[in-house]
Amino acid sequence: MKRLVRAVLAVMTALVILPVTVSEAYVNWGTRVKITEDDTVLDEITVNGVTVPAYYSRISVMTQSVYDGSKYACSEFARRFYSEAYGIQLSIGNSNTDAPKSLNGGFFTETDQPSVGDLVTKKTGGSHYAIVKEVNNGTAVLIEQNLWSDRTNDIALKGRSLSGETNYTYWHWSESLNMDQVSAFVTRLYRLCLGREPDAGGHAGWTKKLAERSITACDAVRGFFLSKEMSGLGLSSEEFVERCYAVLLDRESDEAGKADWVNKLENGFSRTGILKGFADSREFAGICEAYGITCGTITISWRDTNFGVTSYVVRLYRMILNREYDAGGLDGWCRRILTKEMSAKTAAMHGFFHSREFLSRELADEEFVRILYNTFLDREYDENGLADWTQRLADGMSRDECIAGFADSPEFRSIMARYGIRE
């Protein structure tokens, strides 16, 4: 008892409360606290009758890398919490990419309904871990280590809370996985994706992989939707999208939503890209949580990253090369534009019009100008305009100069803006 009193007094003398709070959309950063002594207990959480403290030390006397590798790191608090409160060995890597695992029993599953004791991981902007201490009307109050307002002056943050913040994932640990639920999830995929009852071998294989956490729900969905068997069904774009609604949202499509997804499919997005759009929904996260399995995500290529850029490139294929895109070429052009290796305007002017494929057509000047009208003005030629540009070419204007004349027009800037491209 005397030791407890001394510990409490030590904590009280070590903390200087600064009554200033900082908040931003969906995040309240809590209270700023001045750390004046090493091994300061800034906060604590009690779960299963075990109290686990969050330690801080003066970061101003250490380098960040040394602090990150010490007992004061956010990851070390998460490991210590699960070891002391649940008796499990937590395996964590980079919170942006790695799902947490228990090395000695039990399973972590994603949830959008946080509860006390859940692990919180950051998706982007640096790896970070925290634990849910309280939940009040949907707002999760966190306990964590290594969260600073001012490192130079040793000002830490206590009691940060999240509500609807999308850059964090909540993970709930349970002692065992319900195999009946996993089995039911796999059966559901067979029935809704393939339209048949599962075969014993296939069902057992998918169930085993999901139960062992060697794959996620998204991996399984991708496996079914892109399987040879499903491809063999010859689903139209409309039928494919309808099946996405059934499997990933657990409902029938709405007219406007379905039309939008079909438009994306028919103008450059791959079926993998469409799957990701559905798989990243809150509805599918809820389905995964109901079956007790990890949701995961679906990796996509460049063509599935930005529909505006993708559909713009598809238009160039159709207008300039007079054909549908090939998957590899579409992905390559999207990558060049999205990484700013080449501007969207340059892709049209030099990439497509200078391609071997276009040059090999050996078009006459009049036909060449007609393509410029359609590509850069989005309309058919007028007789006077066609005659004027054709005469300029006959008088010695180069085709590159002619292309620039059309590409620099207000009409083409408007076309690019329609696709969300501004240069």
Q: Judge if 88 and 193 occupy the same domain.
A: no
Contacts of 158 (CB under 8 A, 6+ apart): 30, 31, 32, 33, 42, 43
Give 16's strand partners: 34
Q: Which of 142, 174, 206 is the last residue of a domain?
A: 174
- Domain membership of residue 354 (yes or no) is yes
Q: Is 292 helix (H, G, I), strand (E, B) or coil?
A: coil
Domain that holds residue 367: 307-418
Q: Judge if 186 and 323 occupy the same domain.
A: no
Q: Which of 294, 316, 332 is the last residue of a domain?
A: 294
**Cβ(70)–Cβ(76) below 8 Å:** yes
Q: Is 129 helix (H, G, I), strand (E, B) or coil?
A: strand
Q: Judge if 69 and 202 occupy the same domain.
A: no
Q: In this structure, what token pair is assigned to residue 336?
A: 């060049």
Looking at residue 15, its pLDDT comes to 40
Q: Judge if 165 and 184 occupy the same domain.
A: no
- Domain membership of residue 301 (yes or no) is no
For the chain, percent of residues with pLDDT exceeding 90: 74
Contacts of 224 (CB under 8 A, 6+ apart): 189, 190, 193, 194, 230
- Domain membership of residue 299 (yes or no) is no
Instruction: Please give the tally of structural domains in the chain.
Output: 3
Q: Judge if 365 and 274 occupy the same domain.
A: no
Q: Judge if 36 and 154 occupy the same domain.
A: yes
Position 26 confidence tier, pLDDT thresholds 50, 70, 90:
low
- Domain membership of residue 302 (yes or no) is no
- pLDDT tens digits, 262-300: 999 999 999 999 999 999 999 999 999 889 888 989 999
- Domain membership of residue 423 (yes or no) is no
- pLDDT tens digits, 197-231: 999 999 999 999 988 778 899 999 999 999 999 99
- Domain membership of residue 285 (yes or no) is yes
Q: Which of 294, 319, 342 is the last residue of a domain?
A: 294
What is the CATH classification number for the domain harbouring 377?
1.10.3130.20
Position 108 confidence tier, pLDDT thresholds 50, 70, 90:
confident
Looking at residue 420, its pLDDT comes to 95
Q: Judge if 265 and 221 occupy the same domain.
A: yes
Q: Judge if 153 and 48 occupy the same domain.
A: yes
What is the CATH classification number for the domain harbouring 92?
3.90.1720
Q: In this structure, what token pair is assigned to residue 181?
A: 């639920």
- Domain membership of residue 270 (yes or no) is yes
Whether the predicted pLDDT of 368 surpasses 90: yes
Looking at residue 106, its pLDDT comes to 77
Burial of 34 (0-12, 13-18, 19+ CB in 10 A): middle
Q: Judge if 96 and 79 occupy the same domain.
A: yes
Looking at residue 19, its pLDDT comes to 37
